[in-house]
């Protein structure tokens, strides 16, 4: 068997202790079968598997660059506290807009009833922050997934990463670590920059040796194709993840 066939057989066999596991555990199991398999081989193969890249655990705590300001009200940080379950007890107010001045640490809270553009500046996009995590070192033009925020008690079988694949548009060097600008499939740049720990590099399914398109369907207003790959495995792939 080839290296890819060995990894595929181990990872997708529920009877194998290394199935659907981490890169390290899969590597150890694969080396017992073929000593020529390297950790790089395992990482590269896992980056092509939607089952792994959608559910890979992401870090929430990591060192970030310092924010340097020169005075009061030069820069604020803001976020929303979601209290929708208590809106009936709070006169219809569903959210708390929490703002803090970076320099003085003076903070204030404003209750709001919705997240519409009229209520929140920037059309609410500054409150769509997602925590992302890198899988490998990324460069401009690399394709990545973005991590979805999940609560502490949310089920683990839900995807951890976006199904849509984004692209690294620009690398911005910083004092401690570089940050990245990201664009979507329409080449529209997302607001803000992202740390290396906040993105995960993936390999688009379209270049994994697809043999044929088996079926087509529309799910949640998105066109998806059932793709049959060289290893005879079939998977539904959204058209947004497919490249020529």
- pTM of this structure: 0.42
Residue 18: per-residue pLDDT: 93
Cα maximum dimension of the chain: 66
In terms of Cα–Cα distance, which of 212, 216, 204, 242 is closest to 229?
212
Q: What burial letters (b/e) apply to 210-223, b meaning 16+ CB within 10 Å? A: beeeeeeeeeeeee
Which tens digit of pLDDT belongs to each residue from 16-26?
A: 999 999 999 99
How far apart (Å, rounded) are the C-alpha atoms in residues 52 and 10? 13
CB within 8 Å of 89: residues ≥ 6 apart: none
Which tens digit of pLDDT belongs to each residue from 24-43?
A: 999 999 999 999 999 999 99
Domains by residue range for the chain, with CATH: 76-124 (no CATH), 206-241 (2.40.50.40)
DSSP symbol at 113: S
In terms of Cα–Cα distance, which of 57, 65, 194, 205 is closest to 138?
194
How many other C-beta atoms are found inside a 10 Å radius of the C-beta of residue 104?
11
Going residue by residue through the chain (244 aa), what tens digit of pLDDT does each one get?
A: 889 899 999 999 999 999 999 999 999 999 999 999 999 999 989 988 888 888 787 777 777 777 788 888 888 888 888 888 888 888 889 999 899 998 899 999 989 988 776 566 554 454 444 433 343 367 788 888 777 665 544 445 567 777 778 888 888 876 667 888 888 877 888 888 877 777 888 876 544 556 678 888 887 777 888 877 655 567 777 776 665 5
Residue 119: per-residue pLDDT: 61
Residue 107: per-residue pLDDT: 93
Contacts by 174-177, CB closer than 8 A, 24 or more apart: 174/65, 175/65, 175/66, 176/63, 176/65, 176/66, 177/63, 177/65
118: its two tokens: 């009229």
Residue 199 φ/ψ, nearest 5 degrees: -135, 150
């Amino acid at each position: 068997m080839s290296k890819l066939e060995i990894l595929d057989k181990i990872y997708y066999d529920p009877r194998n202790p290394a199935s659907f596991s981490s890169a390290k555990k899969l590597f150890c199991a694969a080396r017992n079968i073929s000593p020529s398999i390297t950790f790089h081989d395992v990482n590269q193969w896992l980056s092509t598997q939607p089952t792994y890249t959608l559910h890979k655990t992401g870090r929430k705590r990591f060192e970030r660059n310092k924010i340097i300001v020169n005075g009061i009200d030069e820069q604020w940080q803001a976020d929303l506290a979601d209290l929708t379950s208590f809106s009936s007890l709070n006169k219809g107010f569903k959210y708390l807009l929490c703002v803090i001045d970076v320099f003085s640490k003076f903070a204030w809270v404003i209750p709001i009833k919705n997240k519409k553009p009229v209520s929140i500046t920037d059309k609410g996009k500054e409150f769509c922050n997602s925590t992302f995590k890198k899988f490998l070192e990324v460069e401009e033009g690399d394709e990545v997934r973005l991590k979805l925020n999940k609560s502490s008690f949310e089920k683990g079988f839900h995807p951890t990463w976006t199904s849509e694949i984004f692209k690294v548009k620009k690398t911005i060097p910083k004092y401690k670590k570089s940050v990245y600008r990201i664009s979507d499939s329409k080449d529209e740049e997302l607001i803000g920059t992202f740390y290396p720990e906040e993105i995960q590099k993936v390999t688009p399914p379209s270049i994994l040796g697809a043999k044929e398109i088996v079926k087509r369907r529309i799910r949640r207003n998105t066109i998806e194709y059932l793709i049959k790959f060289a290893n005879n495995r079939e998977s539904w792939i959204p058209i947004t993840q497919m490249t020529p």
